[in-house]
Amino acid sequence: MIVNKDTKNVDHIPVLEEEVKFFLNIRKGRTYVDGTFGAGGHSSMILSSADCRLYSIDRDPNIKIYGQKLKKEYPNNFQLIEGNIGNLKVLLEKHGIDKIDGGILFDFGLSSMQIDNSERGFSFRYDGPLDMRMSQEGPTAADIIDEYDEKELSNLIYKYGEEYKSRKIAKAIVNYKKSKPITTTFELAKIIREAIGHKSNKKIDPATKTFQAIRIKVNNELEEIKQALEDTKKLLAPGARLVVISFHSLEDKIVKNFLKINCGLIENPYRHSLDIYNNPSDKNIIFSLLTKKTIKSSEKNNKINPRARSAKLRAAEKNSDFADAA
């Protein structure tokens, strides 16, 4: 999803829109879930594709305004739920839903609304408080930085940022903290850039990986993703679809492994590709994989929406044999 800053009205272009539409297989009378509503770009596309029912979820309370707009357009077909997809099954059960016969979509990561709002503290490009909480509840990024010692920071930055210079960064943060707490995005970004340097030929800002790591920790992102994916096994009815878009390798690894296990796929060590482990009686084969390779955004679409560049889509269909899996 991107936000067009040239207009007062927010103009949403969802990532991989056509591909999501194709793989979700949106049909009249079916029920769908958009687990990451954001500004409602994909939700809007789903509702306009067929006379279906849609439950959209987001943990960010600021999305209500977009939800209200869709509710006005589709009063009988659309329901917005504020909550965490780590509790997907429970959230839907509270609305009387225990089976989804259409499909479930996840478009992980942050919305442009979140990134481009300096007050939310997600981006090192804007100066703002070190917050980074999607739900605006619980400890902030500043709290975590304040609380963690050098080793904990280094481990966090290495694990969730895949940053091999994590030790240098952690040391610089802890040194700085001795004189004053780190409370703003610009302060943190400056400490990181000074600690590991910024090569002028590198496009990626040195603060990128550390910001990613802290954001993942603040929002417990990877655990919530794992739980949400697990819940889809019970929620989806036979023939219903699971469509997932991820933005960085840690997210994609979780999705890939989940599908590998639940589609009964094994990695062929000789051909570096996924092959079907053809044993239909295997009780682990809950889904059939629809995307042997990840689906990526076209160059044309990347030009319109540069954030789509790192998006990867994977999709699967729930198998009939698992009608009663619960």
Ligand X SMILES: C[S@@+](CC[C@H](N)C(=O)[O-])C[C@H]1O[C@@H](n2cnc3c(N)ncnc32)[C@H](O)[C@@H]1O
State the residues that interact with ligand X by CB under 6 A: 1, 12, 14, 36, 38-42, 57-60, 63, 84-86, 107, 109-111, 134, 224
Residue 312 CB, nearest approach to ligand X (Å): 13
- The letter for the amino acid at 257 is N
Residue 59 CB, nearest approach to ligand X (Å): 4
Give the residue with the Cβ less far from ligand X, 206 or 231. 231
- Going by C-beta distance under 8 Å and a sequence separation of 6 or more, which residues neighbour residue 119? 128, 129, 131
Residue 103 CB, nearest approach to ligand X (Å): 14
Give the residue with the Cβ less far from ligand X, 62 or 291. 62
Give the residue with the Cβ less far from ligand X, 183 or 220. 220
Q: How far is CA 150 from CA 146, 153, 175, 310, in A?
A: 11, 5, 9, 31
Give the residue with the Cβ less far from ligand X, 50 or 115. 115
- The letter for the amino acid at 268 is N
Going by the DSSP 8-state scheme, the letter that residue 282 receives in this structure is: -
Give the residue with the Cβ less far from ligand X, 166 or 246. 246
- Going by C-beta distance under 8 Å and a sequence separation of 6 or more, which residues neighbour residue 253? none
- Burial letters 198-225, b for 16+ CB under 10 A, else e: eeeeeeebbbebbbbbbbbbbbebbebb
Residue 160 CB, nearest approach to ligand X (Å): 14
Q: Determine the 3-state secondary structure of 54 from DSSP.
A: strand
Residue 186 CB, nearest approach to ligand X (Å): 23
Residue 187 CB, nearest approach to ligand X (Å): 25
Give residue for tokens 């739900």: 135
